[in-house]
Amino acid sequence: MATTLKDLRPVYVAGIGFHRYQFLSDTPYVTLGLAAVRAALDDAGVAWPAVDSAYVAKALLPMAPGRAMLRHLGDHGLPIVHVENASASGSAAFRHACMEVAAGLADIALVVGVDKPMPVGRAESLARIGSLADDAIAPFTHFALLADAYAARTGASVEDIALVAVKNHRNGSKNPFAQHQKERTLDEILGGKKIAGGFTSLQCTPVGEGAAAVIIASEEGLRRRGVGLDRAVRVASSAGRSQHLYDDATRYDAMLTQETTQIALAQAQLAPGELDVVELHDAFTVEEVEYVEAMGLCPDGQAVPMLKEGAFDIGGRCAVSPSGGLISMGHPIGPTGVGQIGEITRQLRGEAGPRQHPGARSGLAHMVGVGAVCYVHVLQKP
Amino acid sequence: MSDPDLLKPTLYRRAGSAARPEPPALLGGACACGHVFFPLQSYGCERCGGTDLQPRALTGAGRLLASARVHLHAGKGREAPFTVGSIRLEDGPIIRTLIEGGETRLHPGAAMVAVLAPVTDPQGSARLDLRFMAEA
Ligand SMILES: [Zn+2]
């Protein structure tokens, strides 16, 4: 049996920082990224020269944006690696930074996600395997098909599934870093622009830009810099998987989420019911109902009734997407997985202000990415 | 050998299959391990990794798993609205395809059949493309 993160020396999230997720603007990516990194360093109480290693997550920006941004923090020379893993780029960067610190190869590491919307190709299309209608099936249409199948399987209605957007826009309205910061009624959401199937625009993640950064560290690394563990959050486990060949090939994200979450929870020695906050890949409303079931936060087919009784609200049984999630906070791709770690850290520190989930002690971050790949991290208050 | 009237002759053919003589058939593949897939490829089997992959004509019959009417579409050469569906072929593979007659609500579980429908290719020529529709 291979060693897990839990078997190595403890790794802590010591600092978090953001640049607001927003619609495409003239702001250079360097400005976005530096804002997040400087905020994370300040929050950790660590100076730039103390950082041993840097991970830059991006999916859309061109080759090697890292040093062109980080050089403005001062002369350094640290190793910089870029991580591209579709929507899960930030989560993958976080996992590998944690491994480096846990293994003792670095004491303090920076993980920064930064991106701006740009046209990109999909490698899959270069395999030259034809398709009947892939050009007709945008991501929102893929998920609209899953929503239709979910409705047929569970009896949920279009209105039921849209309740995810009501909750997540409400959470996002309290997040100063969210792209959408406006509370929405169910009627407003359902009355929006029709996209595909039951989806309207406010049930789909907005395209945007932004940045998120976290500083991770070992206890020795922090103590040597005169920083204690009082605001640090422990990375209790890390799991990364890619999809298998499933009987229902269309439900790969849910099947993969189930497997990866089980591994991460087992490593952290937690049951799904012990999680207080969860940030998951809710790019489209149906994903949240599928994933809370796949993760074991509720029994199969029970996501809608539990959503209706407020189980996934801030202050409910488990706050799901307290940041507003991808639907409201946004999904600038490279930053998204890093931003989830930032939100969970804020919640576990008890510093989330108006969107604080009371008594949060354990949190889980989940991303899936085209491929499909999946990452799950569990964070705990020490 | 390929039919010049078909828009994507590597994916389907006019002639039916042994199991279902009615046209058209889908051009899938089968591995020595028993895995049946669509479309045909020669890179390697997604189940066992083997490279002994043989062409297999799949019947144009299946059951609808899900459908969605698409109201917004950015790609050129295709005007919304249109309907797409996930269909489990009776030979096993699940495909994603355009649905004819999708203006009316389709229900998961419905029996679906493949048809060749007239379309115009990007050069403006009349062609036939594969669609599925609810079985009459
Ligand atoms: Zn095989």
pLDDT tens per residue across span B114-134: 999 999 988 889 999 999 999
The pTM of the full predicted model, rounded to 2 decimals, is 0.97
> Residue A182 to residues A90, A163, A175, A185, A248: CA-CA distances in angstroms?
26, 15, 10, 10, 37
Distance A59 CA to ligand 1 centre (A): 33
- Say whether B39 and A135 touch across the interface (CB within 8 A): no
Looking at 3.80.10.10, 3.40.250.10, 3.40.190.10, 3.40.47.10, the CATH number of the domain A137-174+235-380 comes to: 3.40.47.10
Task: Name the minimum distance, in Å, from the CA of B114 to any CA of chain A.
Answer: 12
- The reply to whether residue B84 touches residue A249, judged by beta carbons under 8 angstroms, is no
Q: How far apart are CA A186 and CA B111, in angstroms?
A: 34
Enumerate the residues of chain A whose CB falls inside 8 A of the CB of residue B12: 132
CB contact under 8 A, A141 and B70: yes
Distance from CA of A130 to the nearest CA of B (A): 7
Asked if A250 lies within 8 A of B69 by C-beta distance, the reply is: no
Residue B2's pLDDT is: 59
Identical fold, A5-119+207-233 and A137-174+235-380: yes
Kindly state whether residue B110 falls inside one of the protein's structural domains: yes
CB B99 within 8 A of CB B84: yes
pLDDT digit string (tens) for chain A, length 382 residues: 688 998 999 999 999 999 999 999 999 999 999 999 999 999 999 999 999 999 999 999 999 999 999 999 999 999 999 999 999 999 999 999 999 999 999 999 999 999 999 988 888 888 889 999 988 999 999 999 999 999 999 999 999 999 999 999 999 999 999 999 999 999 999 999 999 999 999 999 999 999 999 999 999 999 999 999 999 999 999 999 999 999 999 999 999 999 999 999 999 999 999 999 999 999 999 999 999 999 999 999 999 999 999 999 999 999 999 999 999 999 999 999 999 999 999 999 999 999 999 999 999 999 999 989 999 999 999 9
| Residue B63 belongs to some domain of the structure | yes
* Long-range CB contact pairs, A2-5, < 8 A, 24+: A4/A237, A4/A238, A4/A267, A5/A98, A5/A99, A5/A102, A5/A235, A5/A237, A5/A238, A5/A267
pLDDT at A287: 98
Q: Do B108 and A145 touch (CB under 8 A)?
A: no
Tens digits of residue pLDDT in B46-92: 999 999 999 999 999 999 999 999 999 987 778 899 999 999 999 99
Mutate to test the interface with B, among A148, A246, A255 (most CBs of B within 10 A): A148
Q: Does position B1 have pLDDT exceeding 50, yes or no?
A: no
**Rounded distance between C-alpha atoms, residue A376 and residue A237, angstroms:** 8
Q: What is the dihedral of CA B122, B128, B130, B132, to 10 degrees?
A: 120
* CB contacts, 8 Å: B85 with chain A: 145
User: What's the domain count of chain B?
Assistant: 1
Question: What would the pLDDT profile of A112-141 be if each residue is shown by its tens digit?
Answer: 999 999 988 888 888 889 999 988 999 999
**H-helix segments, chain B:** none
The identity of residue A319, as a single letter, is A
d(CA A235, CA A203): 31
Residue B7 domain-assigned?
A: no
A5-119+207-233: CATH number: 3.40.47.10
Strand locations in chain A, DSSP E? Answer: 12-22, 53-57, 80-83, 108-115, 194-196, 199-200, 209-217, 233-242, 277-279, 319-320, 362-369, 373-380
- If you average pLDDT over every residue of chain A, what do you get? 97
Which residue range forms the structural domain that includes residue B80?
A: 12-134
Whether A73 and A56 have beta carbons less than 8 Å apart is answered as no
Residue A365: name the closest of A285, A270, A280, A261 by CA. Answer: A280
Q: Position of tokens 């919307």?
A: A117
Ramachandran area for residue A310 (φ above 0: left; ψ -120 to 50: alpha; else beta):
left
Rounded to a whole number of angstroms, the distance from the CA of B40 to the nearest CA of chain A is 8
**How crowded is residue B24: how many other Cβ atoms within 10 Å of its Cβ?**
24
Query: Under DSSP, is residue A62 helix (H, G, I), strand (E, B) or coil?
Result: coil
Q: Which residues of A touch B11 (CB under 8 A)?
A: 130-132
CB contact under 8 Å between A131 and B108, yes or no, is: no
Chain B positions touching A134 (Cβ under 8 A) are: 96
Q: What three-state secondary structure class fits A139?
A: helix
Q: How is chain A split into domains, by residue range?
A: 5-119+207-233, 137-174+235-380
Minimum Cα–Cα distance from B131: chain A residue: A132
Nearest to A250 among B43, B65, B69 (CB): B65
B→A interface, C-beta within 8 Å: 8, 10-12, 35, 39, 41, 43, 46-47, 65-75, 77-78, 82, 84-86, 93-98, 107-109, 130
CB atoms B84 and A145 under 8 Å: yes
Residue at B4 is within a domain? no
Q: How far is B89 from chain A (nearest CA, A)?
A: 12
CB-based contact B68 A193, cutoff 8 Å? no
Q: How many angstroms separate the CA atoms of B46 and B51, rounded?
A: 10
Q: Does A126 touch chain B (CB under 8 A)?
A: no
Q: What ipTM was predicted for this assembly?
A: 0.95
pLDDT single digits (tens) A303-345: 999 999 999 999 999 999 999 999 999 999 999 999 999 999 9
pLDDT digits over A34-67, tens only? 999 999 999 999 999 999 999 999 999 999 999 9
**Cα gap A378→A233, rounded to integer Å:** 10
Nearest to A212 by CA among A357, A379, A95, A57: A57
Which of B11, B42, B58, B69 has the highest number of chain A CBs within 10 A, making it the mutation to test binding with A?
B69
Q: Do B72 and A195 touch (CB under 8 A)?
A: yes
Domain-embedded: residue B41: yes
Task: Look up residue A345 and give its two tokens.
Answer: 């850290």
Interface test with B, best of A122, A132, A140, A286 (most B CBs within 10 A): A132
Query: Is A123 at the interface with chain B, CB within 8 A?
Result: no
Q: Is A271 on the interface with B (CB under 8 A)?
A: no
A197 contacts in B (CB within 8 Å)? 67-70
In chain B, which residue's Cα lies nearest the Cα of A129? B41
